Amino acid sequence: MIETLGGAVLIALMRICDVTIGTFRTIMVVQGRKYQAAVAGFFEVLIWIFAMRFIVQNLDNLYNLLGYALGFAFGNILGISLEQKVALGYLQVNIISPNKSEEIAKVLRDKKFGVTLLPAEGKSGELSILIAIIKRKYLQDLMKTVEAIDKRAFITIQTSRPYRGFMHGSRV
């Protein structure tokens, strides 16, 4: 019985590892980090092959199949959690604050965020749109700063892949 459960635990651990690596690999592919994605993919598939080899040799063991499924589920949770902590890549944050754009821009710039202020026109008249391209790891700091000034600011966030250029004075 111990040997039966031990195999299932081993399979679950291998799946947790390969799915976690797979999550990072997917993010790297989306961000165009081809060499890092290739290295991650190598280890992801290598671990997966060992897990599959063990399962195929023991297809009659229901615990192995359950270990495979549990490892996949927990690997997704762990992979996403780790990716959120590492926060790879860049974001474009767009901020619309009808009355406090200038103040938000000043405070963000004082905190070394690069901010571009664009004139715009909405239903109720002229306003400004603030655009900041930031590393994902700085998102919480930026959001807290904006919300401390204007809790009602309209904010959108999207993934960004900077192509070229220099962001003067920014944290990048």
CATH number at residue 147: 3.30.70.120
Q: Specify which residues 116 forms β-bridges with.
A: 131
Domain identity same for 27 and 78: yes
Same domain, 56 and 98: no
Can you give the pLDDT at residue 4? Answer: 72
pLDDT digits (tens, 9 = 90+) for 110-143: 999 999 999 998 888 889 999 999 999 999 999 9
Whether residue 29 is found in the same domain as residue 104: no
The answer on 79 and 6 residing in a single domain is: yes
Together in a domain, 40 and 116: no
Asked, for residue 166, whether it belongs to a domain, the answer is no
For residue 125, give every residue at least 6 positions away whose Cβ sits within 8 Å of its Cβ, in sequence order, or none.
Answer: none
Same domain, yes or no, for 26 and 38? yes
User: Would residue 125 count as lying in a domain?
Assistant: yes
Do 132 and 71 belong together in one domain? Answer: no
Domain that holds residue 81: 2-86
Residue 53: pLDDT over 60 = yes
Whether 27 is covered by a domain: the verdict is yes
What distance separates the 2 farthest-apart alpha carbons in the chain? Answer: 73
CA 60: distance to chain centroid? 38
CB contact at 8 A, 31 and 87: no
What's the half-sphere exposure (Cβ side, CA atoms, 13 Å) at 117?
Answer: 15
> Quick check: is 168 in a domain?
no
My answer on whether 96 and 80 are in the same domain is no
Q: Is residue 127 domain-shared with residue 64, that is, in the same domain?
A: no
148, part of any domain: yes
Tens digit of each residue's pLDDT (9 = 90 or more) over 144-153? 999 999 999 9
Q: Dig out the tokens for 126 from the structure.
A: 């002229």
Please tell me whether the overall predicted TM-score, pTM, comes out greater than 0.85 for this model: no
Task: Give the model confidence (pLDDT) of 56-98 as tens digits.
Answer: 888 788 898 899 999 999 999 999 998 888 888 889 999 999 8
Residue 95 tokens, joined: 């901020």
For residues 103 and 39, state if they share a domain: no
For the chain, how many structural domains are there in total? 2
